[in-house]
Amino acid sequence: KAGVTQTPRYLIKTRGQQVTLSCSPISGHRSVSWYQQTPGQGLQFLFEYFSETQRNKGNFPGRFSGRQFSNSRSEMNVSTLELGDSALYLCASSLAGWQETQYFGPGTRLLVL
Amino acid sequence: QKEVEQNSGPLSVPEGAIASLNCTYSDRGSQSFFWYRQYSGKSPELIMSIYSNGDKEDGRFTAQLNKASQYVSLLIRDSQPSDSATYLCAAVGPGTYKYIFGTGTRLKVLA
């Protein structure tokens, strides 16, 4: 069974631009979570989607948004990029959500200049 | 703010020794706990999950959970240089769908 895939793997943007990252979960998984990972803050929860509905959201500004499609694929968008948004963005999928193992994708490394 | 805390390390152990990694969590309602390993430049991969008080063993790995004291630990027996990585502890509260991760403990196994 194929694992979680994320595209693109690397991205360089400039301040003020916006970016869209994509995540395809493991086949049959309906829950997708997004995380931001930085050296100083570790893994920070962004949001979680299940059946196209956002069920939980972390403490990030409104510039960070996401959505999930009917095939469980998910996208996250960051508008008006700031230097501090440079990070590894990871998505993780699970069958249905809490108490279940999450499987992580390889991540998208975003550099904002 | 619900938190999961880990000592950042590095924790250095000689090859063949037991590595002991600890994690405490603040949300007493947390019910599910996970240990992930993350190699430098890679994404986290699951080592173990634990839901009930006590020990759970899987090969060289043993996870321990004590809900009364709000701590989770991971023991790695016969540590190998290939175990050198950052170990992340995560806790999930009931019905929150939100996994709270610690900042990780960096483990170095010395050959």
| Per-residue pLDDT reduced to its tens digit, B35-65 | 999 999 899 999 999 999 999 999 999 999 9
Q: Which tens digits make up the pLDDT trace of B26-36?
A: 988 888 999 99
Among A55, A97, A101, select the one facing B46 at the smallest CB separation.
Answer: A101
Asked if B44 lies within 8 A of A98 by C-beta distance, the reply is no
Taking the CA of residue B96 and the nearest CA in chain A, the distance in Å comes to 7
* 3-state SS assignment for residue B34: strand
Distance between CA atoms of residues B12 and A42, nearest Å: 21
Average pLDDT over residues A54-78: 95
Tell me the mean pLDDT in the region A51-61: 92
- Strand, helix or coil at A74? strand
CB within 8 Å of B59: residues ≥ 6 apart = none
Distance CA B111, CA B98 (A): 38
Q: Give B66-106 pLDDT, tens digit per residue.
A: 999 999 999 999 999 999 999 999 998 776 778 899 999 99
- Mean pLDDT score, B13-18: 97
